Structure 1
Amino acid sequence: MTAEPAVTPFAALHDRPGEPLLLPNAWDHASAAALAARGFAAIATTSLAVAAATGLPDGQAATRDHTLRLALTLGSDPYLLSVDAEAGFSDDPGEVAEFARQLWAVGVVGINLEDGLGPAARHAAKIAAVKAAVPGLFVNARTDTYWLGDGHGRDAEAETLRRLDAYRQAGADGVFVPGLTDPGRIGTLVRHLDAPLNILYSPAGPTVPRLADLGVRRISLGSLLYRRALGAALDAMADIVAGTVPGGTTPSYDEVCALERSIAVSRSATSTG
């Protein structure tokens, strides 16, 4: 008789009814360290920021090596790391599984894989290959029916459920529907799914407490923090040009350096403990 695989600490964060995993997305070592210092036990990356930082297009499988380098930088830090891997940077399930193995080897505990509204069978094959290669890696399977599709009517709901069911059967640990903000439709999905539902937070959508009430188990920030950081930089420059003092939070030079030192100390303790 085969024993059930042990529940990982990251998976356990998706199994707290009424207390969804609020997952902020970092884009470099400093942003991840700052979020960890605020008490977030799990942090994800954002593909838009990885692409923007290198002048490459997002969602076009152009940032595989950059994503892996960022994972190498962040994966050994004292928090649980999930990586946004677009569609796995390949249509070949074996190549996607190999990328997942490389992530796991540097300390990554979760991967987000998007279907881009391509064939559901192809995406399911990628998920199955990843789970066969790295059973302990938490696979969050994303469908873009609301992100790239029109998201209207019963057809959208039926297609979303069809895709998520296929991904779940392929071994996905959680499912993700970015772009969905209607509380009624979110509640319907929660009732029909047997896996944790991940929703992308939107300032125009339900609040975190409301999403928790609806049964959502994971709330991602996506590229929001990165875009807000860029916006804050532009606002600060506008204030400086206008002769006023920039508002908002500005960590000091020493505070940023202290973040890096705290991570280094935690790494040392982990390696010697």
Structure 2
Amino acid sequence: MTAEPTPASFAGLHHRPGEPLLLPNAWDHASAAALAARGFRAIATTSLAVAAAVGLPDGAAATREHTLSLALTLGSEPYLLSVDAEDGFSDDPDEVAELAVELWAVGVVGINLEDGLAPSGRHAAKITAVKAAVPGLFVNARTDTHWMGDGDERDALRRLDAYQEAGADGVFVPGLTDAEGIASLVRYLGVPLNVLYSPVGPTVPHLADLGVRRVSLGSLLYRRALGAALDAVADIAAGRAPAGTTPSYAEVRALERNVSASRSAKSTG
């Protein structure tokens, strides 16, 4: 019998030398269930997809309730769930901690918090507040020095130092794709390094050799899905059969939650 996933097991996936956690990002129940069926023990959400699905901007603190709704849908499933919560949807550390408590309550074991190049002290205060409120929640602290900024190494290290001291369990530097820079940062840090996979950057095996402990796919799968839809309709319009993998109607139906069983369990619980 397979053991139920726990917060501790999620943290453990970040401490396997030579075997980084490859973390795919889902955007709804079907995408998460399909990924879980392929053997992924841990799945994350992607803020871009959450925002795009409802026509709101990403990274603008506009999707707090939508993020919580998705977490409620996915948090009780038999895989480990980490949520991309932008900057916590607030500048107030206490409000970010309240969000963390709500996520934890629905089964989330990890949270990704980005600094958006805001003052590092503010972001550190959010991390401290979250860890005080929910000690077991894995906090992946993201700095945007390489994503939104100019990649200033000294600024990145200063921010990462602050986030480690604040209690972050791991740090995330999206946009960092230089192998030498990644290896140097791994040697410098005292917590696991998360990088964002890039088709033009190091491969996952190469990242493993560099000492990276977590590789996120971010919005890549969602954007690829949109691209595949556009390619398919273009093929159909041109009289061609669409290429690529197309799950059958029955296969998609098989990803549905067993609502009747869930209702029965609640009524007898």
TM-score normalised over the length of structure 1 = 0.93
Name the counterpart of 2:122.
Answer: 122
Name the counterpart of 1:23.
Answer: 23
Name the counterpart of 2:132.
Answer: 132
Q: Indicate the SS of the match to 1:205.
A: coil
Percent identical pairs in the alignment equals 80
218 and 263 in structure 1: CA distance in 2 versus 1, 3 angstrom threshold = farther
Q: Is structure 2 residue 29 aligned with structure 1 residue 33?
A: no
Bigger mean CA deviation after superposition, 257-266 or 226-235: 257-266
CA contact (8 A) 1:33 1:263 kept: no
Q: Indicate the SS of the match to 2:194.
A: strand
Name the counterpart of 2:154.
Answer: 158
36 and 263 in structure 1: CA distance in 2 versus 1, 3 angstrom threshold = farther
Name the counterpart of 1:251.
Answer: 247
Give the AA of the match of 2:173: V
Separation in structure 2 between the aligned mates of residue 257 and residue 37 of structure 1, nearest angstrom: 13
Separation in structure 2 between the aligned mates of residue 89 and residue 106 of structure 1, nearest angstrom: 18
CA contact (8 A) 2:7 2:109 kept: no
CA contact (8 A) 1:77 1:266 kept: no
263 and 24 in structure 1: CA distance in 2 versus 1, 3 angstrom threshold = farther
Name the counterpart of 1:75.
Answer: 75
Give 1:272 deviation, angstroms: 9.4
Q: Is structure 2 residue 65 aligned with structure 1 residue 65?
A: yes
Name the counterpart of 1:103.
Answer: 103
Q: Indicate the SS of the match to 1:259.
A: coil
Separation in structure 1 between the aligned mates of residue 7 and residue 167 of structure 2, nearest angstrom: 14
Query: CA RMSD, aligned part only?
Result: 2.1
Name the counterpart of 1:189.
Answer: 185
Separation in structure 2 between the aligned mates of residue 142 and residue 17 of structure 1, nearest angstrom: 21
Q: Is structure 2 residue 201 aligned with structure 1 residue 205?
A: yes
Separation in structure 2 between the aligned mates of residue 272 and residue 181 of structure 1, nearest angstrom: 52
Q: Is structure 2 residue 163 aligned with structure 1 residue 167?
A: yes
7 and 101 in structure 1: CA distance in 2 versus 1, 3 angstrom threshold = closer
Separation in structure 2 between the aligned mates of residue 207 and residue 138 of structure 1, nearest angstrom: 25
76 and 272 in structure 1: CA distance in 2 versus 1, 3 angstrom threshold = farther
Q: Is structure 2 residue 225 aligned with structure 1 residue 225?
A: no
Give 1:35 deviation, angstroms: 0.3
Q: Indicate the SS of the match to 1:22.
A: strand
13 and 265 in structure 1: CA distance in 2 versus 1, 3 angstrom threshold = farther
CA contact (8 A) 1:78 1:263 kept: no
Q: Indicate the SS of the match to 2:255.
A: helix
Q: Indicate the SS of the match to 2:140.
A: strand
Separation in structure 1 between the aligned mates of residue 49 and residue 28 of structure 2, nearest angstrom: 9
Separation in structure 2 between the aligned mates of residue 214 and residue 107 of structure 1, nearest angstrom: 32
Separation in structure 2 between the aligned mates of residue 56 and residue 7 of structure 1, nearest angstrom: 31
Structure 2: gaps (5+ residues)? 1-5
TM-score normalised over the length of structure 2 = 0.94
Q: Which runs of 4+ in 1 moved over 6 A?
A: 262-269
262 and 183 in structure 1: CA distance in 2 versus 1, 3 angstrom threshold = farther
Aligned residues: 264
Structure 1: gaps (5+ residues)? 1-5
Give 1:266 deviation, angstroms: 9.5
